[in-house]
């Protein structure tokens, strides 16, 4: 995880995601999930490209089960875009960079 990605915790879900002043891309993942590991570098690249415009966070589902439950996560990887505290779009499964950027661009 790059230094541009914020580590999600049970304690910061509300303040960092729901109360954020800028759109937030949330990646719900786990280290035992091969597709999650495959998309990790893509998430890091998005965080670098959209720095200052979009906040990028990663929530490990085993460490943050309450946040995952609150977000309605049923499978991983799960990518969710929040804007003004509301979920605007979500996609499950691994995806290429272009598709993840399209998810982000849709919220901007």
- Given the residues 5, 24, 36, 95, the one annotated as active site: 36
Q: What is the pLDDT of residues 63-89, one digit of tens each?
A: 999 999 989 999 999 999 999 999 999
- Confidence check: pLDDT of 34 > 80: yes
What is the Cα–Cα distance from 21 to 38, expressed in whole angstroms? 29
Q: Rounded mean pLDDT of the chain? A: 93
Domain ranges across the chain:
5-107
- Given the residues 1, 22, 30, 33, the one annotated as active site: 33
Specify whether 36 is catalytic: yes
Cα angle 96-38-34, degrees, rounded to a multiple of 5: 130
- Confidence check: pLDDT of 39 > 90: yes
Class of domain 5-107: alpha beta
- Confidence check: pLDDT of 2 > 80: no
Cα angle 4-30-81, degrees, rounded to a multiple of 5: 55
> What pLDDT is stored for residue 3 in this prediction?
82
- How many Cα atoms occupy the beta-carbon half-sphere of 52 within 13 Å? 1
pTM for this entry: 0.93
- Confidence check: pLDDT of 1 > 80: no
What is the Cα–Cα distance from 108 to 30, expressed in whole angstroms? 27
> What pLDDT is stored for residue 78 in this prediction?
96
Specify whether 64 is catalytic: no
């Amino acid at each position: 995880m790059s230094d541009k990605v914020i580590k999600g915790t049970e304690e910061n879900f509300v303040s960092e995601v729901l109360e954020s002043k800028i759109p937030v891309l949330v990646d719900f993942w786990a280290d035992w999930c091969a597709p999650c590991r495959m998309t990790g570098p893509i998430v890091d690249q998005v965080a670098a490209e959209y720095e200052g415009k979009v906040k990028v966070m990663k929530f490990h589902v085993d460490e943050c089960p309450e946040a995952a439950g609150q977000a309605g996560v049923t499978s991983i990887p799960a990518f969710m875009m929040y804007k003004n505290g509301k979920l605007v779009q979500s996609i499950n499964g691994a995806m290429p960079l272009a598709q993840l950027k399209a998810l982000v661009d849709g919220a901007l």
